[in-house]
Copies of this chain bind each other. A is one copy, B any other.
């Protein structure tokens, strides 16, 4: 079973199908968060710090940090956010940008072994991001699209993933440091999207021996009761061997589904995490007893 290790200066997180599921908190991202975007641009990172703490308290083991504010100095904001979070927390980080220069600044600011988000199968991206991964000895998320776009055929997406992993190894990056994002498509548009991605997760694990991750909430795009659908999907993805996902730990139903799936997979010894989180308060228990 592949094991990917991500760390801060003092804390190590192991990602793998035989480990408890790892939540990568998605909240520190100005996309669709107008207020956060304005504050980040103005150099006010108070909310970044709050979002870091609240996500860790809710159960995130890694935090994604994205500073993609249009027309702002993204590399500096990203580096400053990373330094700030690392000054108040030991949580390992996932450095997230579409701009290679920002990724580099983020890596320079970071203490530990980061997760880099992301490389794709696009030639230019491969040849600019992978040297950084090698230089800084970090891990990287490889997204299974390439210069021809995103294929609806999972065999094509598997081949793209294979190319990314092989290219990483050419650059001297160990295979276990590449996590593949098989790409979750909106099921409201593509009816087979769920079943296909579950198959692809399993195929990537069995045939390519790599860990997988995904943005779990993409699946429900455009549908009502998105959290309800996401919770079912995330448990099913875990049943198929997915060891981590980028999602929102503040959503209680998501965390419940992840914790439940950990119990079912045997990754919560004696169900102690489950019991700690969901034990009824003593008062409620005795009220219920009296009623029955």
Contacts and interface: CB of A to CB of B under 8 A. Distances in A.
Contacts of A225: 256, 274, 278
By CB atoms of chain B within 10 A, which of A219, A229, A240, A256 has the most? A229
Copy number in the complex reads 2
23 contacts: A188-B271, A191-B269, A219-B264, A223-B274, A224-B274, A224-B275, A224-B278, A224-B279, A224-B280, A225-B278, A228-B256, A228-B259, A228-B260, A228-B278, A229-B264, A231-B231, A231-B232, A232-B235, A232-B260, A232-B263, A235-B239, A239-B239, A239-B240
Interface residues of A, number: 38
Return the 5 tightest CB-CB contacts between A and B, nearest first. A232-B260, A194-B264, A225-B278, A236-B239, A235-B235
A239 B196 CA distance: 12
Interface in A35-54: none
A265 interface: yes
Interface in A240-288: 240, 256-257, 259-261, 263-266, 269-271, 274-275, 278-280
Contacts of A275: 223-224
